[in-house]
Structures are given as C-alpha cells and as structure tokens.
Amino acid sequence: MQLTPVLLCGGSGTRLWPLSRKSYPKQFARLLGQETLFQASARRLAGQDAQLSFTPPMVLTNSDFRFIVTEQLSEIGIDPGAILIEPQGRNTAPAVLAAALHLMKSDPDAVMLVAPSDHVVPDVAAFHTAVTAGLEAVKRGDLVTFGISPDRAETGYGYLELSAAPDGSGAPVSLGRFVEKPDADKAAAMLAAGNFLWNAGIFLFSARDIVAAFKAHAAGLIGPVGAAVDSAKADLGFLRLAPDAWSQAEDISIDYAVMEKAKNLSVVPFSSAWSDLGGWDAVWRETGPDGEGVATSGESTAIDCHNTLLRSESDTLELVGIGLENIMAVAMPDAVLVADMSRAQDVKLAVSALKGKAAKQAEQFPRDHRPWGWFESLVVGNRFQVKRIVVHPGAALSLQSHVHRSEHWIVVEGTAKVTIDDEVTLVTENQSVYIPLGAIHRMENPGKVPMVLIEVQTGSYLGEDDIIRYEDVYARN
C-alpha cells in the first residue's frame, strides 16, 4: 500500500530560542548532525523499502518558508508533491483537513501519514514497522495515532491512556483518553501505571475517513477549509490556500477538534528512540552527554562542568563554561541564553519578554533567508549598514530600486552579474561596483558556486521595506 506523507512545517519552536525563531524555526536548523530536522523527517518518509512505499511528500507551510522547503528538499534529492501555503497559522486541524480535502480530489482512498517536521526518530526501520502495524487498523476504518513508550516521568509531553498496557508486540491498542501535559507527580504515577504513552502527534488514516471524522466532530471547519482548498491558486509550483476563506477557520489542534471525540481510534505503541526536541534539555539528551553529563557543540569548551549543555552557533564566538552544574548555555551572534536545565520549558518566556521590549532578537534570525540565498548585517550605524550577501548558483535578486539609500558592492567569492539601469557587467572577486540612489539594479549569480559579496549601504533610511520591485522571478509582492 502506498502512503502519502504529509509534513506539517509551520511552527515557530520558541522553546529552542535563540536558535529557533519565528523567521527561521527549529525544523530548518541543523540541531543534530548535518541534516536539518525537516530534511531528516522528509527522508524518513520517502522512497520505498521492504515494508512501505511512499509518494512524494505533501508539505504544509507558510509563505515565508516556501523556498526554504524546496531548497532543503532539493539538497537531499527529494522532489516534493503538493506544497500547500497556509495564509496564516491556524493550528493542526485546518492543516490536516486541507491536506485531506486536496488528496480527496485525486484519490479519496489515499492513506495519509501526517507527521510534524521537527521530530527525531533515529531507527527508521523500527518506525516503518510501527507504521506497517498501523495500516491494519486503517484498513478497518480506524484513525491511528502513535504513542511513545515513556522512559521517564516527562512533564513536557501530553499522554495517551490505553485501554490496556501494551503487550510488546507493537500491535494497535484501543485508546482510552488523551491526557494533557501533567505535573511531576502525575507523570510519575502514569509512568508507573504502564498503560500511558507519550502523544507523538503522528497520525495515520485514509483521506476519506479523516474527512468523515471532521464532518462528524468538527463540521464548522469543513466550510472555510473546503473553500480555501477549492479556491486555491497555483503560484510558482506552490498552491496558495485562499486567504479569506482560510481566515474563517477555527484555530484548533486536531487532537481537540477530532481525536478526543472520535470513537474509532487506535494507538500503535512505539518503543524505539524518539524526541520532539521540545526544549534544550531534549537537545542535551540527543547530543549524547559524556560521563560527566556534559554535551558541547560548536566552538565551546567545558571545564569542570556537570550535567551541562554548551552550544556555540558562531565560528567566531568561543563559549567557555567553568564549574557549571545543570546549566544550558546557547550562544548566537546576536543573543545568548543561560538557564538552569530544569527551566527548559520556560525558555518561551524569554521570547515573550523580548517581544515586550521590542527586541528584534525575539523573532528575527540573524541571517535573513530569501529565495535566492541569505544575508546578514555585520555592522549597523545611523546612516550606514554593512551586509554579507550569499547568492545561490543560478539565482537572482529582484530588479529593484531604492528611494533612500545607495549601495556599494564588493565581490569576495564567485562572480556577480550586475545590472545598473541599462548597463550589465560581470564583477569578479576583489572587484566592486557602485549603485547610485534611485538606480534600477539587479544582482545575479551566473556561476556554479555560491557568490558572496559585501554590501555597504549609506542613506537616510536603511530598512528592508525601501525596495521598489520591477521584476522578480520569485513573484514576491
């Protein structure tokens, strides 16, 4: 049986600040190894093996991440199926329903494997075995969810109470009820009881059955989500859900909307390793602490530390910890987090506090990712700014002009094809070009390697909204 993977890819991951931010959340970060969490999730649900066969993955994301999705899938050689663009975040219920309604148009009996794009599942074969077990329940019309066998009294996850303790066979078990994130005492009691699993938020069902469940338990979503799908517009290979209809959909999770009300639910127990990397304590565990409980990453050094995470996300920033106990320290070029390990779930409070003081670090990643590459500010003054800009091979910025600033470009790697009004020139390493205020210009990378340049802006206003676009291959408004 073929499965259609549905990857949910729109969350912000505030508990992993400062690495994960609204403009570039954790699923796109290389938290563990060389692949991002999104890439690892897509690879886990791709191709075919002795147990399963997957169609190209469907992805639900937002407009800001659409080119990051295609770029990261291309890096690992995966050609996606439909990429549905959500006009705004409305939680998992509308997203899953939109995916199901879209699939229903071509194959009402399609089987969907819905998964977040930021989980860690090291044993792919074991996961495929669990999915195969769940297919038996899907064939009889059940909605299947996956529960993780707990190895500790975790307070950061919701739980699934089973009708009976798993027998170790991996066969689906009837679900008793959903349990919200517990306090420490309740978590310990559930761990001891033996019939509670962590709620992984992964689902398996046919498109026909999940749409029927929405009609029975969340009928109010059918109208707006259905209209958003029916009126969706194709845009450069993406499918934009209709914004007016989508905005009328309730902001609600699939657990609340459907799963907690449905009677035809089965749970597949999964006893292999799994993590949603829901906090820096989870990253510490997955990184693999040494005998002293110390996990380091990047340019970091631990001296006489215990049960500590030290992580530097900058090649030029050395993070050193001395005599630390139960501490997590994460350093970015523009922000540093230092917290007690027991407060990992409270990191989101830092985001709220920074938003309250209008600090850009609350949501804005130091590198601004664009369809053509990325840029970062190196120095900012009252009337000048210095940026590093990296342009992918074959990519081009929009044809544009500025009202308030002029620019000076110095190529330091590769070759740039530069248009200034009616003149087109090639600028190679260690050459520069000046863009007068008001000139219509474009930068392109005609080569086969990334092109890097330093941009010096001068003017009375240096904001990113000082752009008049005349032509854009990425169809940005």
Using one digit for the tens of pLDDT, what is the confidence trace for 232-274? 999 888 999 999 999 999 999 999 999 999 999 999 999 999 9
Domain boundary among 344, 362, 393: 344
The pLDDT confidence band at residue 156, using thresholds 50, 70 and 90, is confident
pLDDT digits (tens, 9 = 90+) for 414-473: 999 999 999 999 999 999 999 999 999 999 999 999 999 999 999 999 999 999 999 988
| % pLDDT > 70, the chain | 100
Instruction: Calculate the average pLDDT of the chain.
Output: 94
Average pLDDT of span 349-363: 95
Q: In this structure, is residue 8 part of a structural domain?
A: yes
Same domain, 110 and 236: yes
Strands in 451-459's sheet, in edge-to-edge order, are 367-370, 373-380, 384-391, 451-459, 405-413, 432-435
Same domain, 105 and 149: yes
Query: Residue 13 above 90 pLDDT?
Result: no
Q: What is the pLDDT of residue 51?
A: 80
The pLDDT confidence band at residue 169, using thresholds 50, 70 and 90, is confident
Backbone angles phi, psi at 405, to 5 degrees: -145, 155
Same domain, 240 and 301: no
Domain boundary among 241, 270, 299: 270
Same domain, 260 and 284: no
Record the pTM: 0.90
Same domain, 191 and 111: yes
Same domain, 173 and 314: no
Domain boundary among 270, 300, 321: 270
Q: In this structure, is residue 115 part of a structural domain?
A: yes
Q: What is the pLDDT of residue 466?
A: 94
Q: What is the pLDDT of residue 477?
A: 62
Query: Residue 377 above 90 pLDDT?
Result: yes
Q: In this structure, is residue 164 part of a structural domain?
A: yes
For residue 442, give the nearest of 418, 470, 413, 416 by alpha carbon.
418
Q: How far apart are CA 225 and CA 94, in angstroms?
A: 6
Q: In this structure, is residue 195 part of a structural domain?
A: yes
Q: In this structure, is residue 78 part of a structural domain?
A: yes
Same domain, 266 and 291: no
**CATH code for the domain in which residue 202 is found:** 3.90.550.10
Radius of gyration of the chain (CA): 24
Q: How far apart are CA 406 and CA 425, in angstroms?
A: 18
Q: In this structure, is residue 333 part of a structural domain?
A: yes
Residue 11 is part of which domain span?
A: 2-270
Same domain, 49 and 116: yes
Query: Residue 33 above 90 pLDDT?
Result: no
The structure tokens listed for 328 are 């997590």
Q: In this structure, is residue 358 part of a structural domain?
A: no
Same domain, 23 and 147: yes
Q: What is the pLDDT of residue 221?
A: 98
Could you write out the three-class secondary structure of the chain? CEEEEEEECCCCCHHHCCCCECCECHHHCCCCCCCCHHHHHHHHCCCECCCCEECCCEEEEEHHHHHHHHHHHHHCCCCCCCEEEECCCCCHHHHHHHHHHHHHCCCCCCEEEEEECCCECCCHHHHHHHHHHHHHHHHCCCEEEEEECCCCCCCCCCEEEECCCCCCCCCCEEEEEEECCCCHHHHHHHHHHCCEEEEEEEEEEEHHHHHHHHHHHCHHHHHHHHHHHHCCEEECCEEECCHHHHCCCCCCCHHHHHHCCCCCEEEEEECCCCECCCCHHHHHHHHCCCCCCEEEECCEEEECCECEEEEECCCCCCEEEECCECEEEEECCCCEEEEEHHHHHHHHHHHHHHHHCCCHHHCCCCEEEECCEEEEEEEECCCEEEEEEEECCCCECCEEECCCEEEEEEEEECCEEEEECCEEEEECCCCEEEECCCCCEEEECCCCCCEEEEEEEEECCCCCCCCEEEECCCCCC
Same domain, 116 and 23: yes
Total number of domains constituting the chain:
3
pLDDT digits (tens, 9 = 90+) for 272-288: 999 999 899 999 999 99
Same domain, 164 and 143: yes
pLDDT digits (tens, 9 = 90+) for 56-71: 999 999 988 999 999 9
Q: In this structure, is residue 364 part of a structural domain?
A: no
Q: How far apart are CA 271 and CA 130, in angstroms?
A: 9
Same domain, 163 and 64: yes
